[in-house]
């Protein structure tokens, strides 16, 4: 990636990046596939892109500040990938997460998994995203339209949320 | 040597503390570290703790050279 990075780790089967500038998840996916995957070796790629909304808890949101714990966040994301690698036969996994000031419409997170078959790719991608939401130390502070600020207090459980 | 203490997000604002080094004397565990840096302020029920960047509970033993962090529930993704 060519943008500003707050942390990046790469292993033979996965990569995590914490970035401080807006990123295009589709360009990142294409670039990563070309540099880390072997064409013909995988049959399934599952991806999740989380994007900032302009509303939350019934209020209009104009911006958000995303904070993380340098070092621990990187280690947690890498541990989450390692767990998924142990549980599913993945060719590779990629997590990119934004930090800093972000505005509605911008991507916050990209999670992608490549495998020979769709079941592992789908299941591992979902697992990575839910594990990230519940365990990776990131925090969001919203700016509402009236310029007041508030911390997002907790993430919902994605397996039981509507 | 000392114990490095870090606070993040709403916890940083609650304690008005981002990073601080404290003397390890008299500090046995994470709960003792909280008393040193927070004084009279009670620890919010949902507080999470980490020692050397791994999540730990309040009774986790700490000492010289450790890094202890306090933060609220995570809200990434």
A117 and A43 Cβ atoms separated by less than 8 Å: yes
Task: Give chain A's domains with CATH numbers.
Answer: 5-151 (3.90.1170.40)
CA separation, residue A150 to residues A35, B12, B76 (Å): 40, 14, 15
CA–CA–CA angle B17, B23, B24 (5° rounding): 115
- What CATH superfamily classification does B3-71 receive? Beta-grasp domain (3.10.20.30)
What are A124-154's pLDDT values in tens digits?
999 999 999 999 999 999 999 999 999 999 9
Chain B: residue nearest A97 by CA? B77
Place A13 in a pLDDT band, splitting at 50, 70 and 90.
confident
Instruction: Report pLDDT for A162.
Output: 66
Q: Do B74 and A155 touch (CB under 8 A)?
A: yes
Low-confidence ranges of chain B (pLDDT < 70): none
Q: Looking at residue B19, what is its pLDDT?
A: 98
- B45 in contact with A, Cβ within 8 Å: no
Are A72 and B50 within 8 A, CB to CB? Answer: yes
User: Dihedral of CA A103/A62/A110/B50: which sign?
Assistant: positive
Question: What ipTM score was computed for the predicted complex, to two decimals?
Answer: 0.96
Mean pLDDT computed over A66-91: 97
Q: Which two tokens stand for residue B66?
A: 């450790």
Question: What is the Cβ-side half-sphere exposure of residue B10, based on CA atoms within 13 angstroms?
Answer: 19
What's residue A43's pLDDT? 97
A-B C-beta contacts closer than 8 Å: 70
The DSSP H or E segment spanning B11 is helix B9-15
Instruction: Answer positive or negative: Cα dihedral of B76, B49, A75, A44.
Output: negative
Q: Could you state, in order of their start, the residue ranges of all structural domains in chain B?
A: 3-71
> CA A140 to CA A68: how far, in whole Å?
9
In tens, the pLDDT along A97-128 reads 999 999 999 999 999 999 999 999 999 999 99
Who among A71, A135, A155 is closest to B53 (CB)?
A: A71
């Amino acid at each position: 990636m060519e943008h500003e990075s707050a942390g990046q780790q790469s292993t033979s089967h996965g990569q995590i990046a914490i970035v401080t500038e807006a990123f295009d998840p589709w360009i990142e996916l294409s670039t990563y596939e070309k540099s880390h995957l072997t064409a013909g070796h995988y049959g399934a790629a599952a991806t999740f892109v989380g994007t900032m909304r302009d509303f939350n808890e019934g209020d209009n949101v104009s911006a958000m500040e995303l904070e993380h714990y340098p070092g621990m966040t990187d280690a947690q994301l890498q541990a989450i990938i390692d767990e998924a690698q142990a549980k599913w036969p993945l060719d590779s996994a990629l997590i990119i997460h934004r930090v800093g000031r972000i505005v509605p419409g911008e991507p916050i997170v990209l999670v992608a998994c490549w495998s020979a078959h769709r079941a592992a790719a789908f299941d591992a991608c979902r697992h990575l995203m839910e594990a990230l939401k519940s365990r990776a130390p990131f925090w969001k502070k919203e700016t509402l339209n009236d310029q007041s600020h508030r911390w997002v207090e907790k993430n919902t459980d994605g397996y039981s949320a509507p | 040597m000392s114990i490095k203490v870090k606070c993040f997000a709403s916890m940083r604002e609650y304690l008005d503390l981002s990073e601080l080094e404290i003397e390890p004397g008299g500090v046995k565990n994470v709960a003792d570290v909280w008393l040193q840096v927070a004084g009279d302020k009670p620890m919010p029920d949902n507080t999470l703790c980490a020692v050397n960047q791994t999540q730990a509970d309040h009774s986790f033993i700490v000492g010289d050279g450790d890094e202890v962090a306090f933060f609220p529930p995570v809200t990434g993704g």
